[in-house]
Amino acid sequence: MPAADQTLRILSHLATRPAPVAASAIARELGLPRSTVYHLLNTLAARGFVIHLRDDQRWALGTAAFELAGGYARQQPLARLGRPIVAALSDRLGASAHLAVMSGSDVLYIVEERAARRPALVTDVGVRLPAHLTATGRAMLAALPREQIRALYPGPSAFPDRTGRGPRRPSELRELLRQVRERGYATEDGEVADGLRSVGAVVADRTGWPVAAVAVTWAGDSRDAPQDGRDAALATEVREAAALLEARTTR
């Protein structure tokens, strides 16, 4: 039985218990070897997903598990409220539109609307992509404090790439985000997939913290023809959609 399956079974079991549980009881009730249960529990504890109550010799869910649940609780209202807004944006512009949230230094797509007769994108629901390469990610990163950016991108090794384009070091990212703040929207040109271009706008909570971003993607490459005019026109629509979602989530 794969270790991932065993790990998830242990977490699910702890989540259903009204009180902390002994490792021996977990092994017995799940039909797993004790040595396996102890090994997996210690690994989970090191990551904060469970805690060991030494005095009672029992185990319980840790803070990291609750953070996962909190992330789900935050994403669901955003997806529910954002879906009709993103769908309307896609219909209006004839371009694919999506809604994403931050997950570490990645973006996680929670709503995807593909325009009619347009190719499928990599930005499907549940997909993660490096935030510094995407329009949604750049829109949210630009709204984060500089200290948070430094923590997420401490050096060149924190900058994976997909097509050979995009920032490669912290100084390049800082300049890119400065431009995003100056324009009021983010762009991406072939950094996620060749021949595709996106614009995105941030959705903030009442404190100004970025909770999501809306973007549209279309076929276009600035190496072939200037795109600034279309960027600005689409950005107006995207910003309006982001502002509408922001109003609905903060009222």
CA distance 236 to 115: 19
Chain length of the chain: 251
Mention the CATH class of domain 70-250: alpha beta
pLDDT of 226 reads 47
Q: Are 27 and 34 in contact (CB under 8 A)?
A: yes
At residue 112, the 3 state secondary structure works out as strand
181: left (phi over 0), alpha (psi -120 to 50) or beta: alpha
CA distance 144 to 148: 6
b/e sequence 86-119, b meaning 16+ C-beta within 10 Å:
beebbeebebbbbbbbbeebbbbbbbbbbbeeee
Domain ranges of the chain: 3-61, 70-250
pLDDT by residue, tens only, the chain of 251 residues: 578 889 999 999 998 887 889 999 999 999 999 999 999 999 999 888 888 988 889 998 887 776 666 666 567 788 889 999 999 999 999 899 999 998 888 998 999 998 766 666 677 777 889 999 999 999 999 999 888 898 889 999 999 999 999 999 999 999 999 999 999 999 999 999 888 899 999 999 888 889 899 999 998 755 544 455 778 889 999 999 999 999 998 76
Pick the CATH number of 3-61 from 1.20.120.450, 3.30.70.580, 3.40.47.10, 1.10.10.10: 1.10.10.10
Q: Are 118 and 96 in contact (CB under 8 A)?
A: yes
Cα dihedral angle (215, 217, 221, 222), rounded to 10 degrees? -30
With residue 207 as reference, give the H or E element that holds it.
none
Entry pTM:
0.71
Strands 96-103 and 58-61: unpaired
Q: At 163, phi and psi to the nearest 5?
A: -125, 10
Cα–Cα distances (Å) from 25 to 3, 47, 59, 62, in that order, read: 19, 22, 10, 18
